Amino acid sequence: MDFEHVIEKLEGRESGLIEIRKHSCVLIPFVEREGRLCLLFELRSAGISQPGEVCFPGGRMEEGETPLQTAVREIGEELGIGPEHILYTHGYDTLIHYANMAIHTVVAKLDPSALENIRPAKDEVAEWFTIPVDWLAEHEPIVYEYRVLPEIRDDFPYDIIESPDKYNWRTGKWHIPVWNYEGHCLWGMTARIVYALLKFLA
């Protein structure tokens, strides 16, 4: 191999995320409702993964899709909201999960009339609701913290890496915000995205 081969492989290639096997994208939909800026959420149906959890519209990115294309496609499939009701979009940050997942996010502003045209896909969405952004900003969530610990088997080749003693493997911390709003519990990765966004907007 010579460096010309390296150049050929890199030419036109966009940067990615090493070791990430699954790319998903969610839309963070802002919408005006009853004079207040709100976020639109879904409640996942019983027949899909993480049933009963609160989430944003979104899903796995298909081959060749951009995060924006995924986000627009998913809100159409899940809630029946078409591109004509999306007034503004802008890419936001990516949440990396330790299970080799990347969750890309796109902020959007919906036309208020979009709420009148919602047609949930019943096999995916049990219901939809909104939470005012100022309510979320004014109510600090419970933040639960737990440690992520490496589980190293006894057959790790310490002799090859010339480490006679057990290596000091790094541990991690995972923070999960939890809000309760009118009978709906917002937590997990969706809450982490909301929490980070609110801090950014403060």
AA letter at 145: E
Please report the pLDDT score of residue 160 as a whole number. 87
| Dist CA 161 CA 85 (whole Å) | 57
| Dist CA 156 CA 135 (whole Å) | 50
Burial 59-96 (b: 16+ CB within 10 A, else e): bebeeeeebbebbbbbbbebbebeeebbeebeebebbe
pLDDT, tens digit (0-9, with 9 covering 90-100), for 113-150:
999 989 999 999 999 999 999 999 999 999 999 999 99
CA quadruple 169, 171, 20, 53: dihedral, nearest 10: 150
| Dist CA 55 CA 127 (whole Å) | 11
Q: What is the mean pLDDT of residues 88-103?
A: 95
Q: What is the mean pLDDT of residues 35-43?
A: 97
Which residue segments constitute the domains of the chain, with CATH numbers given? 15-137+181-201 (3.90.79.10)
Residue 112 DSSP SS3:
helix
AA letter at 103: I
CA dist list (Å): 149 to 14, 75, 124, 135, 185: 32, 36, 33, 35, 27
pLDDT, tens digit (0-9, with 9 covering 90-100), for 146-182:
999 999 888 888 888 887 667 888 999 999 999 999 9
Phi, psi of 186 (to 5 degrees): -100, 115
Burial class of 155 by CB neighbour count within 10 A (0 to 12, 13 to 18, 19+) = exposed
> What's the chain's length in residues?
202
Q: Which residue, chain included where needed, has tokens 């019943």? A: 122
